[in-house]
Amino acid sequence: MDQFVSTFTNKIDTKGRVSVPASFRTVLAKDGLDGIYCYPSLDAPALDAGGKRLVDKINALVEDLAPYSDEKDQLATALFGTSEVLTIDQDGRTILPERLREHAGISTHITFVGLGEKFQMWEPKRFEKHLAEARQKVRDLRKLLGAGRRGSGGPEGARE
Does 39 map to a domain? Answer: yes
* CATH number reported for the structural domain that contains residue 109 in this entry: 3.40.1550.20
Q: How many domains does the chain have?
A: 1
Q: What is the pLDDT of residues 17-29, one digit of tens each?
A: 999 999 999 999 9
Does 88 map to a domain? Answer: yes
Higher per-residue confidence, 157 vs 136:
136
Q: How many CB atoms lie within 10 A of CB 92?
A: 14
Does 53 map to a domain? Answer: yes
Does 41 map to a domain? Answer: yes
The whole domain housing 77 covers: 7-123
> In whole angstroms, how large is the CA radius of gyration of the chain?
18
Does 84 map to a domain? Answer: yes
Does 115 map to a domain? Answer: yes
Under 8 Å between Cβ of 36 and 88: yes
The reply to whether the predicted model has a pTM over 0.75 is yes
DSSP-assigned states of every residue in 55-80: HHHHHHHHHTSPTT-HHHHHHHHHHT
